[in-house]
Amino acid sequence: MQRIRRSCVSLRSINGKRRVREFRKMSVILAALALLPGASLPRTGPLPQAKPEAVTEAPAAPQPEKKPEIEEAPGPRPEAAPKQKPETPPASEVPTPQPKPGEAPATQPSGKDELPPTPPEDQVPSKPEEQTLEEQHLAIEPESDAHHAECTKELQSLGVVFRETPRIDDGNGCGIDKPIIVSEALPGIKLKPEATLRCPAALALARWMKGSVIPAASAALPESGGITAINQASAYICRLRNSVEAGKISEHARGNAIDIASFSFEKGEDIAVRSRREDSTLTGAFQRTVSAAGCLYFTTVLDPESDAAHETHFHLDVIERKGGFRYCH
């Protein structure tokens, strides 16, 4: 009986605890229900997102080939965007300055860039190619005493026969500051007729004869013997190039040039300078050889193959050009 009573007591205790837990749950539910009337849903809710589609990557557009940059001369860097100028008030609102008593009225700007007046056509300077010798107002080139002395000493060592002559001044830039008259280009080789030249031209002639002309003649024309004379067609003379009326001054007018017409030998006839481009003989080879070798000593060499003005002679001169440039045809 006692066991039965104890079991009843324990059952009552368990049932009491269950009722307490159920009562607490009911209390929480009732409290939540009491708060529901004051709560409300938001007017707008999150919109459903569209299902992303599979993205297909488009092929990249071909880029144009990038050109290499061209190096330019350094200059000022470009400025930023130009600043806006303040608006200029109308001309009617700009006060005109009044001259003071005794002063001349100020000249009003015209609003346009003022250009200098165009000179009359007869006062516009022309190019040297269009000017006569008188219009070019040239001067004789001065020569250094030291350089001239060194040059004449070299002529003497080569055996060139020459003599000094007074300064030549024919006006308009024609003349030679320190001229010499050459009668023999090398010992035993006369220059016919005597030639008035600047010393540098005479020195180039002697070196050309010794280094190229005499050896070429010995190789090509041994049966003719040695060269006895150089027959020149022109040395110093006051004129323009090709003896025209207008144009650049000739190097002949400065004593820098000589024209060679022919060579005389101990035996046989003279060898004249003429067109020998198609001449397959040793005489033709001799002329072509000495013409080509001339550029080793002169800065200008023109031969019968150059143009019609040089069909019968070599033109040789020692003009000085920028960078040591030489013209040989």
* In the predicted structure, residue 317 carries a pLDDT above the cut 90: yes
Contact 259, 233 (CB under 8 A): yes
How many other C-beta atoms are found inside a 10 Å radius of the C-beta of residue 293? Answer: 18
- Point out which residues pair with 174 in neighbouring strands: 171
Confidence (pTM):
0.62
- Mean pLDDT over 1-24 rounds to 62
Closest alpha carbon to 267 in 219, 231, 214, 224 = 224
Q: Is beta strand 314-317 parallel, antiparallel or unpaired with respect to 257-265?
A: antiparallel
Q: What is the pLDDT of residues 220-246, one digit of tens each?
A: 999 999 999 999 999 999 999 877 777
CA distance 9 to 11: 5
Q: Where residue 34 falls among pLDDT bands split at 50, 70, 90?
A: low
Name residues whose C-beta falls within 8 Å of residue 162's C-beta, 6 or more positions apart in sequence.
152, 155, 180, 181, 182, 183, 184, 202
Distance between CA 314 and CA 11 in Å, rounded?
149
- Nearest Cα to 229, choosing from 198, 273, 184? 184
pLDDT at 135: 82
User: Is residue 129 left, alpha or beta, with left meaning phi > 0 and alpha meaning psi from -120 to 50?
Assistant: alpha
Pairing of strands 257-265, 271-272: antiparallel
The pLDDT of residue 133 is above 70: yes
